[in-house]
Amino acid sequence: MQLTKAEAAGKIMVALDYPTTDAAAALVQALRGIPCWLKVGMQLYYAAGPSFVAQLKEQGYAVFLDLKLHDIPNTVKGASEVITRLGVDLFNVHAAGGVRMMEAALEGVDRARAGSAGGAPPQVIGVTQLTSTSRETLNEEIGIAGTVEDCVVRYAQLAHRAGLSGVVASPLEVQAVKTACGRAFRTVTPGIRPAGAEAGDQSRIMTPQQALACGTDYMVIGRPITGAPDPREALQSIIEELV
Ligand SMILES: O=C(O)c1cc(=O)[nH]c(=O)n1[C@@H]1O[C@H](COP(=O)(O)O)[C@@H](O)[C@H]1O
């Protein structure tokens, strides 16, 4: 499938992993006009809070709020209700919390929307195994036997059963997740590294082109863009690679 530049940009979620609003705002300014998603994770959210998320929405961005909720169902339901009111487009919960916890996240979304003016509800996705987790870590530290792919597929099936829209996984597991849960079940994949880029703490990686060929729906990309001397040029060259 041949993508336009705008379609390729719309598959990229730039991770705004910064300690201050000013640093994140400078990156947003540098990327102005490129129709990518923006991801606000824990570091920025704990520093900048809901008002920064609101600013991104006012600027017209699709926003992924990556807070990886993982708690008892009642707490996750309450947090999901508040997150939904922020107007984000996507947020995540840990699939390891189980089906009931993921269902509670969706109940929180519904509760926020009851009586609200409308707009599309946020998609909720389940984090499977973090892309930094290797098979060795999974088997020997965490104590889960089998391959990482087996575990990711199992968690994806739980997320699917709970009614979530998709999962966060590495691009290596996209095909197995789609086979198990259907083509429409979304895959959001961090662990993206352009050829020659440093893996850093990521264990399960692919290039943007390889991830696209595997059928990923969205790619989360942080340091290859934010750590580049010219982040705009880095994002544009990834987009060029995909069209
Ligand atoms: O949920 C996530 O976004 C996430 C899940 C996961 O398994 N691995 C993962 O790297 N992430 C996030 O994706 C981003 C990846 O950033 P880079 O490794 O710098 O490209 C970070 O913001 C992580 O918090």
Nearest-CA residue for ligand 1 atom 6 is 130
Is 230 an annotated catalytic residue?
no
Is 70 annotated to bind a ligand? Reply is yes
**Mind listing the pLDDT tens digit for each residue in 147-202?**
999 999 999 999 999 999 999 999 999 999 999 999 999 999 999 999 999 999 99
Report yes or no: 179 and 208 within 8 Å, Cβ to Cβ: no
pLDDT of residue 131: 98
Q: Token match 């609003």: residue?
A: 21
**pLDDT exceeds 90 at position 33:** yes
Is 73 annotated to bind a ligand? Reply is yes
Percentage of the residues of the chain whose pLDDT score is greater than 70: 99
Of ligand 1's listed atoms, the one at least distance from the Cα of 170 is 7
Average pLDDT score, the chain: 97
Nearest-angstrom CA–CA distance, 87 and 214: 30
Mean pLDDT, residues 207-218: 98
Nearest-CA residue for ligand 1 atom 3 is 66
CA of 168 to the centre of ligand 1 (A): 9
CA of 218 to the centre of ligand 1 (A): 12
Query: Which range among 30-34, 113-117, 234-238 shows the weakest confidence by mean pLDDT?
Result: 113-117
**pLDDT exceeds 90 at position 115:** no
pLDDT of residue 203: 98
pLDDT of residue 119: 81
**pLDDT exceeds 80 at position 137:** yes
Beta bridge partners of 64: 39, 90
pTM for this model (two decimals): 0.97
Beta bridge partners of 39: 15, 64
**Mind listing the pLDDT tens digit for each residue in 87-103?**
999 999 999 999 999 99
CA of 220 to the centre of ligand 1 (A): 7
Is 77 an annotated catalytic residue?
no
CA of 234 to the centre of ligand 1 (A): 18
Of ligand 1's listed atoms, the one at least distance from the Cα of 226 is 19
Helices (H), the chain: 5-9, 21-30, 42-48, 50-58, 73-85, 99-113, 135-136, 148-162, 174-181, 208-213, 223-226, 231-242
Report yes or no: 61 and 37 within 8 Å, Cβ to Cβ: yes
**Mind listing the pLDDT tens digit for each residue in 36-89?**
999 999 999 999 999 999 999 999 999 999 999 999 999 999 999 999 999 999
Tell me how far apart the 2 most distant CA atoms of the chain are, in Å: 50
Residue 118 — very low, low, confident or very high, per pLDDT cuts 50/70/90? confident
Exactly one of 5, 57, 68, 89 is catalytic; which is it? 68
Report yes or no: 185 and 178 within 8 Å, Cβ to Cβ: yes
Q: Would you put residue 23 in left (φ > 0), alpha (ψ -120 to 50) or beta?
A: alpha
Q: Is 202 in the pocket of ligand 1 (CB under 6 A)?
A: yes
Beta bridge partners of 123: 90
Report yes or no: 163 and 169 within 8 Å, Cβ to Cβ: no
Between vectors from CA 44 to CA 103 and to CA 164, what angle results, nearest 5°?
A: 15
pLDDT of residue 116: 78
The candidate with the shortest Cα–Cα distance to 236, out of 213, 228, 172, is 228
Amino acid letter, 1: M
Q: Is 17 in the pocket of ligand 1 (CB under 6 A)?
A: yes
